[in-house]
Amino acid sequence: MPSRNLRLPAVALTTGLIGLGSWAGSSAASSFDQLTGVPSANPKAPGMSTPNILSPELTQSVLAQGSFKLENGTAQVPYYGYDGDGPHVPAPGDKPAPGHKVEASKTEPDKNTYLTIDGLKGSDPKYDYGRHFLFQGHEGGSPGYITRVNLDADGAHRVTLLATTDDKGAALPNFDGSTWDPWAKRLLFTAEKGNRGGVWQATTDVPSKVQDISGVLGRGGYEGIQNDSAGNLWIVEDVGRPTGTANPHAKQPNSFVYRFVPKDRKDLTAGGRLQALQVISRRTGKPIVFHAGQADADILSDDVKDLHNKVFDTRWVTIHDTDVDGTTPFDANALAKSRGAAPLKRPENGQFRPGSRFTEFYFDETGDTNKDTEAGARYGGFGSILKLTQRRPTADTGKLTLFYRSDVAHSGFDNVAFLSRDRVAFVEDAGDTLHTQRNALDSGYVFDVNESYAASDAPEPLRFLAQGRDVSATLDSGFSGMPGFQNDGDNEITGLHVSDGDPGTGGILGAKAPRPLRRNGPWQVFYTQQHGDNVTYEVHRAPQR
């Protein structure tokens, strides 16, 4: 029987999380501007699972989890967050070994993209799938694939497999970033796979038509991807680099920020120009560049130190033009280095500040995710948040400013979402090594963009989420490092996404000031607790007591 076209609150149990303070405000409080901070991160203890803890004004509900069976799954891809190559839970006493998978491979649903669209179909032609949808690419497992969580649907039709191959029959890669391009009317997915990565565009229905467009946008370790108001695409790259000989716990800056200027914003395959961000040294007046074979020189260079302390002039340099260079896939990272673009410490995601007319772009650097990094905070070893300011989104020049210099307790920033005009959230993906070193799991933080966090007396960001560790991830953490074990350990915060689902050009992130947590409002908040049970949540305002 067709479903009613109504928004369901959740398929699974709504989880009211531990409150660590009083209600911050009156009954009118309905946004992230009024939250009580969570005092501390959850500790990491061997064999101990830990619940997530949200600000007491917030609660969350499960939208989908790894064991949700896909309505049209395959033998290889039968579930939302698990491949079909093993059990969901290890058998009692079983342990991983070479050639033996103790459990199924976890597929890690990653960046969320929310849309409200009428008329989408699924695998059941007689079923009404509603109009509220959440799309993900999957970062792990094999093959890569794209899913759609049908938020108005019942359990049997809750999650739809959109594609496992592209339009030429090639297996999809694992995907990290995603967004909706309203001009091209395509979902865009990025693969963080170095010179085998790139951008794929996909339709929203079933079966989805997926195209590899890396001949136009290049191959790189792409992750974050966003439109500006002119229809350009801003891409943030995360490419690791071997550590230096003299600095064995610090990685060489090796990633770039890109802007793609399409010839026809309604058809990305028509070509265009890929540009990379160049940063001008305050010491020499020349571009800050990557030094091949000199990792130690770049890790502790004066320019890298300045990048995490001062304001810099920037300009965009074209590294590939399809009118001149054609549409054969190319290595964007290598071209960025050859054209003097600025190498950064693993930036992963960025967004435009609402109300800035797309002139303020905030993005993070993940850093070295190791407390022993010789780079320390001064050289960006723990990462940072940077702000790129331009007079208009199409400008060729701008200013790069340090917004927040991370430390060991606030490190490994990955996903970002604006919660209002003046509040932005960054969430950690610090990794198992740093979790163990600092005895603290990941957290999500809210920053006020009007504050000066780079000042010596800067306030602490507000922790709105202390990530826990579910039982599956606790088991996986115990297996980590054993020969034959293929999954990650601790849970990770990913897919933080705030959107009203508007698929038009006025709905791109940064075009409107978000107004989440308002009763019956269109703005929704999502995130995914990757690894372990692979749970995707919607965040709500907690009932007032």
Q: What is the DSSP string of 7-31?
A: --S-SS-EEPPPP-S---S-TT--S
pLDDT in tens, 59-86: 999 999 999 999 999 999 999 999 999 9
In degrees and rounded to multiples of 5, residue 310 shows phi and psi of -130, 180
Single out the residue of 152, 229, 117 nearest to residue 502, CA to CA: 117
Single out the residue of 238, 226, 237 nearest to residue 352, CA to CA: 226
The residue-averaged pLDDT of 12-34 equals 40
State the pLDDT at residue 91: 95
pLDDT-above-70 percentage for the chain: 94
What does pTM read for this prediction?
0.93
Q: Which two tokens stand for residue 239?
A: 């490419």
Kindly list the distances between the CA atom of residue 46 and the CA atoms of 122, 354, 446, 495, in Å, as whole numbers in the listed order. 42, 42, 29, 26
Mean pLDDT, rounded, of the chain: 92
Residue with tokens 């022993």: 372
Residue with tokens 């772009």: 361
pLDDT in tens, 100-156: 999 999 999 999 999 999 999 999 999 999 999 999 999 998 999 999 999 999 999
The residue-averaged pLDDT of 427-449 equals 96
pLDDT in tens, 278-333: 999 999 999 999 998 888 889 999 999 999 988 999 999 999 999 999 999 999 99
pLDDT in tens, 265-281: 999 999 999 999 999 99
pLDDT in tens, 229-266: 999 999 999 998 778 889 999 999 999 999 999 999 99
Task: Give the span between the Cα atoms of 33 and 80, in whole angstroms.
Answer: 33
Q: Measured in Å, how far apart are the chain's first and last C-alpha atoms? A: 38
Other Cβ atoms less than 10 A from the Cβ of 20: the count is 16
